[in-house]
Structure 1
């Protein structure tokens, strides 16, 4: 039996306006929680939520914060990718609004943490587990995600074609797991991400995958393309605690899809299945 994620989410996703699942997505995700879509909650302006339209009764959703490429306030710029991740059982809170203009900041992402920490497990967000929050982002959005690593409410970081811009040594102070997904040597952020990965201290879990597609990734391909494939396994493993999903990232799956992979200290990740 399935129940709605929340009354607010279901009403928003079903409405004709202003929430419309982007036609360019080609689908609404192909994960076990599909179909997924996005909506803009009245309770948190300036943000867009991607979620399964329904979730099994008793199932909890971890949270992934997302900073858009270019720190854009258009929260649908990577809609196929984010919808795909949501269809694998994650609530994604993207900074900005559908087709929004202007820019976002790290403080906008922090607003997401504040809001979901206060509202998870209650009312419209009864299915959300805010004890599992990952901050992630592409390019400039990755810098916004990095800024959340010092927040005790955030458990891990996802860096997508990004890296520190000026503070070249800050990664040496990281004490939380960081997963890097880069676009190969043709990615403008390649050297930054490579440097940050190398600078992280021994004993802290880290992972780095490179796919030679350049800085633009595959976010707008159907279901997010190959980035959507590895991203779906990443959220299943790191956020939902599905150990079998780790095999794709660390075994032959990612390599067969063209990813070059290195990692360290993943045995210290300590993920457990979500309730």
Structure 2
């Protein structure tokens, strides 16, 4: 069993996961000129499976696939597929740092959707944080150079920005579904079914978008899946090692990774508006996390 509240182990796992996810995103962006993002999604899910099965084999526990909540896994995988589709499309048209920054809108939508989904009451503090986050989105969307998009038409870039924000909505729904599933299912079981079902969903659409990759592209697509699988395991281990409150700040290091990789690999110099918007979105996310923890502590003391 992983050690609980081991902040050093948890931080290292989180830093590794965020670094790998950003590298995966950079590879996706690199191959997206010739390979449709739907095809990339298939490889992302299909070649994460060997990693997941290796974990199950190492533990000698194939019962991880057993579940009494298949319908819940199907719905969760569908919302995850929609979130991934929006994210991968946004990667094809937006600079890496911009797409990464906008992907951190998930906590904002979790707060909003917790009202109809969970019947929660959202106070002035969390609403203020949500408004701060949306201000960050506007700063990125309306800032200088926001619609340059590496020479792409402004309309396509605008759709890419919208997709990056909508990805936050789908990810928020997925987060709420995972909260429900985790009451009876282990994190490994959830990840296994996620990879299996998302592979099946994208396989159905694959014939309509298939382009035969070159040998080099095929190797990169396989690498996307393997890196994604390892990163997912590291993320799971991070949350098994330490409290979410301690790991929250480390999860935002992907913005630093995306700025660095975007600059070095794609020559994308982040604009002031992207950086300022990212600061606002991160600040809102961290404050929402702070308020969640404060509310949890109050409930324990009642």
Question: Is the TM value for this pair above 0.5?
Answer: no
Query: Whose strand fraction is larger, Structure 1's or Structure 2's?
Result: 1
Category of TM-score, reference length = shorter chain: under 0.3
Q: Whose relative contact order is higher, 1 or 2, with alpha carbons under 8 Å and at least 6 apart?
A: 2
TM-score between both structures, scaled by the size of structure 2: 0.25
Larger Rg belongs to? 2
TM-score between both structures, scaled by the size of structure 1: 0.26
